[in-house]
Amino acid sequence: ELLDDDAALWVLELSSFQTGDSGPLALGVITNLHEEHLDWHGTPQRYRADKLRLAGAARTLLVDAAQPALLDATAVHPARRLYGEARGWHVAQDALWRADTRVFDLAQFALPGAHNARNACAALGALEILGGDAVAAAPALARFRGLPHRLQWLGARDAITWIDDSISTTPEATRAALESLPGAAVTLILGGHERGLDWAPFATWLAAHAPHAVIAQGANAARIAAALHVAGLAPPCADDLEAALRLARTLTAPGGVVLLSPGAPSFDQFRDYAARGRRFAELAGFDPATPGEIGGLGIA
């Protein structure tokens, strides 16, 4: 009842909780099937089935060609389109391309990380399917800014750069955050509310791409630390975010980065990810209102 009947087009971002209630859609976009919300869905299989109900509701479906599980799960859709492949919108040579045409240089894009470049391809691909001129629209990406708590540079305090990625609630999102900071000496703060996600694949990847330091905190700190230990890492554990920041200050050298990218929800200590991000800012020495006032730099 909140929709304006006069609008020509509505764009909705739906949680996996909501995809079964979406009704018929002109276009559905699914970026991945990474495990999430298992405390609500119950099992990985039920999560994927619930999320894929969006595909059944969509007249046309757009998915990421770089996600094998997603490709397999949507192979029977009669009007499936792909982004991330050479025939359509894709990333190559530090630019966004439409087939063999170089359209937009990523040096102009404020959002860091390969994941955000892929998200831009999804948006342009969706616009094109809906009849828009995506090539003409692409330069607008240079003016796009993300939202707070999404890879948000808060600034420097005590010769350390502080980055708030409190929105990160899966290991895959944390990996994307780390991949957006090549060459930085990162102290990573992980952990929060326990949802039963499998940390082993992330732990294996992290051991091969180890940051300067890792701190596990919150309700699932011990389980994260155990997974990392199996992979060959030995992170210290902290009871809560405040204790984690005290540890981070001792472990991070001048010129380093402290990254809050928990890979887990906030509910063990906070009302939501925004409250966690504000507390992180405050503990780092910033006005806690700051994260709501400056643009973030990307969504993982």
- CA–CA dist 75, 213 (Å, integer): 41
Other CB atoms within 10 A of residue 158 CB: 11
Give the 3-state secondary structure of residue 202.
Answer: helix
Query: pLDDT tens-digit profile of 194-210?
Result: 988 899 999 999 999 99
Q: Return the closest-CA partner of residue 50 out of 40, 60, 64.
A: 40
pLDDT grade for 275, boundaries at 50, 70 and 90: very high
Give residue limits of the domains in the chain. 19-143, 152-292
Tell me, letter by letter, the H, E, C secondary structure of 204-260.
Answer: HHHHHCCCCEEEEECCCHHHHHHHHHHHCCCCCEECCHHHHHHHHHHHCCCCCEEEE
Angstrom CA distances, 218 to 222, 223, 284, stand at 9, 10, 18
Q: Which residue has the tokens 């994941």?
A: 115
Q: How many residues in total does the chain contain?
A: 300
Q: Does domain 19-143 have CATH number 3.40.640.10?
A: no
pTM (predicted TM-score): 0.80
> In this predicted structure, what is the pLDDT of residue 293?
56
Query: pLDDT tens-digit profile of 104-160?
Result: 999 999 888 888 999 999 999 999 999 999 999 999 999 998 888 999 999 999 999
DSSP string, 38-63: HHHH-SHHHHHHHHTHHHHHEEEEEE
CATH architecture, domain defined by 152-292: Alpha-Beta Complex (3.90)
107-116, 244-253, 280-289, 290-299: which is most confident: 244-253
